[in-house]
Amino acid sequence: QVTLKESGPGILQPSQTLSLTCTFSGFSLSTYGMGVGWIRQPSGKGLEWLANIWWDDDKYYNPSLKNRLTISKDTSNNQAFLKITNVDTADTATYYCARITMGITTYFDYWGQGVMVTVSS
């Protein structure tokens, strides 16, 4: 059974760094073809892909945010991480992590419940 769960600070101030953790089970990020992605959703709005990390440590970022994002993983503890630097109110959203499987095309087949993050002074 594949499960993912996000955790984060809840609230932070503008210009701070947002650190998010995705703790998962039911698969391993050391297995060929496995990956984890981060996606966010402002309240009442659509979904925005942020970054992916793969079993071989390949990393991909949304170009619109690339300079502010860092994705990483801890394979032994089944965790993936995302850092966003210099946050502002536009980063207020629910942040999801999701499993991705390499294939002809990639898609997010299992999602965490999401963690709400508010940026406010």
Partner 1 sequence: DTVLTQSPALAVSPGERVTISCRASESVSTGMHWYQQKPGQQPKLLIYGASNLESGVPARFSGSGSGTDFTLTIDPVEADDTATYFCQQSWNDPPTFGAGTKLELK
Q: How far is the CB of 94 from partner 1 (least distance, A)?
A: 9
Q: Which is nearer to partner 1, 73 or 99 (CB)?
A: 99
CA distance 69 to 73: 14
Residue 25 tokens read as: 């089970």
Q: Which is nearer to partner 1, 29 or 50 (CB)?
A: 50
Residue 60 sits in the site that holds partner 1 (CB under 8 A): yes
CA distance 7 to 97: 10
Distances, alpha carbon 87 to alpha carbons 36, 53, 76, 91, 107, in Å: 22, 21, 29, 6, 27
Residue 15 tokens read as: 């210009």
Per CB under 8 A, the list member of 3, 7, 21, 49 interacting with partner 1 is 49
Per CB under 8 A, the list member of 1, 63, 90, 120 interacting with partner 1 is 63
CA-atom Rg of the chain in angstroms: 14
Residue 112 sits in the site that holds partner 1 (CB under 8 A): yes
Contact positions toward partner 1, by CB under 8 A?
Answer: 39, 46-49, 60, 62-64, 96, 104-114
